[in-house]
Each structure stands twice: as structure tokens, then as C-alpha cells.
């Protein structure tokens, strides 16, 4: 296995360990790692991070070697940003699964884009006015 393949496999393994703790499943919802395509969903979630995937890899290296609920809780308390990135990636991958979505009653099916004139009507209704009228969200130095 190439170095890149080994790194990706280790990343997936660590994310699966976190998923086992955070998403163990319930009688009505599958455990994350029980989903047949969970590794593929993790890969998709990591790709969605774009350049942030470097930060994910750094965060995963900071995880305790042995993971359980208490260790993960301490990690979340001491390295909140890393925990947030890891947990968001895991949960994001989980909810990309139709099986997970169906288990919580979320409607799945074909997506239907809004008709073009509906979007134009809504834009003309003033929906963007609060955004356009607010002060700048950029901080000045």
C-alpha cells in the first residue's frame, strides 16, 4: 500500500473509532460503523473539507491512542476545535447515508429544484434586504 493509501486507511480507522463512540446506534437507528458504505461516506466527508482535511489529520494525531467515552470527552474539553472538526466529519458522513436519514424519519427521494420564477419571486420579495442592509461582518484592524 502506498504512503497516501496508508495515511487514508489510518484516518478512516481513527474516524471509525470516534464513530463507534459517538454514534453507537439505537434500536431504531443503525450504528455508524454498521452502515455498509460508511468508509466511502467518510472519504466523501473528508473530501468535502477540501484544504481543511490537513487540519483534520492534525486533529486525529492529537486524539488519545486509546479511545473510549471518557477519553473522548476529555479530548473535547481540552481541544474543542479538534473535537469539533472530527465529530462534524463523522456525523456528516453518517447523515449522508440514506439508511441513517430514513431511521430518523427524514424524507429521502429525488430532489426537485424550485422553478426559476419562484427563486426570482422570492428574491424580489425582499428576503435579502436584512443581509444587504447589515453592517459589514469583517473586522477592521
Query: What is the C-alpha to C-alpha distance for residues 104 and 28, in angstroms, rounded to an integer?
Result: 8
CB-neighbour burial class of residue 34 (10 A; exposed 0-12, middle 13-18, buried 19+): middle
pLDDT at site 6: 85
Contacts with 91 (C-beta within 8 Å, 6 or more apart), sequence order: 22, 23
pTM above 0.75, yes or no: no
Instruction: Kindly give the parts of the chain with pLDDT less than 50.
Output: none
How confident is the model at residue 48, as a pLDDT?
93
Amino acid at each position: 500500500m502506498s504512503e497516501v493509501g496508508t495515511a487514508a486507511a489510518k484516518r478512516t480507522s481513527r474516524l471509525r473509532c470516534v464513530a463507534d463512540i459517538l454514534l453507537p446506534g439505537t434500536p431504531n437507528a443503525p450504528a455508524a460503523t454498521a452502515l455498509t458504505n460508511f468508509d466511502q461516506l467518510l472519504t466523501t466527508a473528508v473530501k468535502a473539507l477540501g484544504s481543511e482535511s490537513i487540519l483534520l489529520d492534525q486533529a486525529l494525531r492529537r486524539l488519545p491512542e486509546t479511545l473510549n467515552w471518557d477519553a473522548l470527552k476529555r479530548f473535547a474539553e481540552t481541544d474543542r476545535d479538534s473535537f469539533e472538526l472530527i465529530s462534524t466529519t463523522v456525523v456528516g458522513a453518517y447523515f449522508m447515508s440514506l439508511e441513517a436519514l430514513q431511521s430518523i424519519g427524514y424524507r429521502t427521494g429525488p430532489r426537485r429544484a424550485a422553478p426559476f420564477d419562484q427563486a426570482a419571486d422570492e428574491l424580489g420579495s425582499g428576503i435579502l434586504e436584512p443581509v444587504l442592509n447589515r453592517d459589514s461582518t469583517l473586522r477592521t484592524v
